[in-house]
Amino acid sequence: MVETVVYQPADVVYEFLLDFPGYANYSKYLESVKEIKAAATEQARYGLRFAWWKLTYTTRSAVTKTVPNERIEWSIIDKFDASGQWVVDEHETLPEDAPDWAETATTVRFEVSWNPHSVDDSTIDLPRFVSVDWVIKKVKPIVDKEAERIVRRAVADLEGRTRQVNLTVETEHLDTS
């Protein structure tokens, strides 16, 4: 979980976060996000292409629930067990440490949960002599740092300027043994 304050109204933040294809602009390892046509009754679906080290992996995700100006929930819909949400909460008043230019403030929280046990040799095409356990051990800290990078870069675009962003980060890892 990564949380921070963005100095924009909740509706602006929410609409910004709905642009899933734009996420590739913020991640070092997410090469592309392409919208997949879904049935009229379904939420949006996306193909996400990740690349790290000698590995590339494409997965599909779906927006599973939206509450306008409050929450966007999503999940991975193939092979890999992962889900998350963006939570948006507008403040009644500005925080004491708000920049001089701020007129409104919104807390944004990015939550991700994933099960490393849902990854096996059939999920990812690994190079010879590389084990899934080794990949999971290496990827877990990258996921944490990447969540921070995404939030920092998104805040800069939302606010139209770069500033020191205070983040609250909480992680909990499952044992992979």
Q: What is the pLDDT of residue 108?
A: 94
Are 110 and 147 in contact by the 8 Å Cβ rule? The answer is yes
Task: Taking residues 79-89, report their average pLDDT.
Answer: 90
In a domain, 49, yes or no: no
In a domain, 127, yes or no: yes
What domain range includes position 77? 2-28+63-169
Instruction: Output 69 or 133, whichever has higher pLDDT.
Output: 69
In a domain, 175, yes or no: no
Band of pLDDT at residue 122, cut at 50, 70 and 90:
low
Instruction: Output 116 or 105, whichever has higher pLDDT.
Output: 105
In a domain, 96, yes or no: yes
Q: 147: part of which helix (H) or strand (E)?
A: helix 132-159
Strand partners, 169: 2
Q: What is the pLDDT of residues 126-155, one digit of tens each?
A: 777 777 777 777 777 777 788 788 888 999
Residue 66 has pLDDT above 80, yes or no: yes
Hey, is 153 helix, strand or coil? helix
Band of pLDDT at residue 5, cut at 50, 70 and 90:
very high
In a domain, 40, yes or no: no
Q: What is the pLDDT of residue 149?
A: 84
Q: What is the pTM of this model?
A: 0.81
Instruction: Output 35 or 128, whichever has higher pLDDT.
Output: 35
In a domain, 71, yes or no: yes
Residue 14 to residues 11, 67, 82: CA-CA distances in angstroms?
A: 5, 9, 21
Instruction: Output 122 or 131, whichever has higher pLDDT.
Output: 131
Task: Taking residues 30-56, report their average pLDDT.
Answer: 82
Instruction: Output 91 or 30, whichever has higher pLDDT.
Output: 91
In a domain, 164, yes or no: yes
CATH code, domain with 145 = 3.30.530
Q: What is the pLDDT of residue 152?
A: 87
Q: Could you give the percent of the chain with pLDDT greater than 70?
A: 88
d(CA 106, CA 35): 27
Q: What is the pLDDT of residue 80?
A: 78
Tell me which amino acid residue 8 is.
Q
Q: How many domains does the chain have?
A: 1
In a domain, 35, yes or no: no
Task: Taking residues 112-116, report their average pLDDT.
Answer: 79
